[in-house]
Amino acid sequence: MTDNDKQPEQGKQLKDSFNKVLNSHGYGFQYSALEFIKESYYQQKTNWVFEAAEYPVEVQGKHTCIDFILKWKYLSLFLIAECKRVDPKFSNWCFIRAPYELRNRTSEKFVMDSLAFKKNPGVAISRRALISPKTVWGEINPNTTFHIGVVLKNHSTKGESSRSENDAIENAALQVCRGLNGFMDLAAEKHPFSGDQLFFMPAIFTTAKLWTSDSDISHSNIHDGKIELIDESLVERDWIYYQYHLSPGLKHSMKDSSTTDSFSKILDQEYIRTIFIISASGIENFLTTFDPTFGL
């Protein structure tokens, strides 16, 4: 075989290897999602505008990159997005509600972060502002709100690698929260917007299918702890609200000056955050139906 004969074969091997690496990192899904969002905006189906991609931030000494950031057209509100292309063998993400989360909570709350900038005329600096982080609440539909998520294998599909993705939901939630809080630190320092308040929401876009159950896990057998899900309880969803309890190590560096009268309220204010989890087939539904201003 001559060198000229080897070149097409080597090129195909390189192409296949390049394909495999790009797919494992999810670049194709990330940028195809952005292309879809851009086209939706140009067709006036959504008010989400592309702001930036691969945005480097730092929080508590740890560096990360935000996959992409969207901005709401009529408000200084930012969607911090993490993209997760899953191995087809681990393509089922299943969610269920926790019947107990906080004492005296009678409804589900949509929780997100904001930064308030107030002029301080007594300080002679170019950026005359006092920065105050706040937590914003709004009621949401409990039927689309979940607290526990697990990854289930698709046994009929061959996997792409030997790595397990059992922790994919937790890892994606951790990554998007780290990106959001790093972006908040950056926004507090740079603050390029003229408005006096900024809002921040985390979202996970994934190729996984989203399944939810309405079963009440508090009705489990107390003697052996086993759960029996109700028949036909799993429903496929386009997107859901996921109530995530982020760790102190993921938080931004600013201190909230507000006070509370219970430990449960500290959990609510400081650590519970609502993450959107959106399936690839549900992106259009999310972009066209969700109005982020309902609770502001």
CA distance 175 to 180: 9
For strands 272-279 and 239-245, give the pairing.
antiparallel
Residue with structure tokens 């989890």? Answer: 277
pLDDT of residue 124: 44
DSSP assignment of the chain: --HHHHHHHHHHHHHHHHHHHHHHHTHHHHHHHHHHHHHHHHTTS--EEEEEEEEEEEETTEEEEEEEEEEETTSSEEEEEEEEPPPGGG-EEEEE--S-SSTT--S-EEEEEEEEEE--TTS-SSS--EEEEEEEEEE--GGGEESEEEEE--TTS--SSS---TTHHHHHHHHHHHHHHHHHHHHHHH---SSSEEEEEEEEEESSEEEEE---GGGS-TTT----PPTT-EEEESEEEEEEE--GGGS-SPPP----SSHHHHIIIIIEEEEEEEEGGGHHHHHHH--TTTT-
The model's confidence at residue 195, banded by pLDDT at 50, 70 and 90, is low
Please check the confidence at residue 192 and state whether its pLDDT lies above 70. Answer: no
Domain membership flag for residue 295: no
Residue with structure tokens 């999602």? Answer: 33
Over residues 121-159, the pLDDT tens digits come to 544 444 445 667 777 877 777 788 999 999 998 877 776
Environment class of residue 256 by beta-carbon count within 10 Å: exposed (0-12), middle (13-18) or buried (19+)? middle
Over residues 58-94, the pLDDT tens digits come to 999 899 999 999 999 888 899 999 999 998 888 999 9
pLDDT of residue 117: 76
List the beta bridge partners of residue 132: 116
Please check the confidence at residue 162 and state whether its pLDDT lies above 70. Answer: no
Q: Which domain holds residue 183?
A: 19-289
pLDDT of residue 242: 95
Domain membership flag for residue 2: no
Domain membership flag for residue 10: no
Mean pLDDT, the chain, rounded, equals 84
pLDDT of residue 228: 81
Number of domains comprising the chain: 1
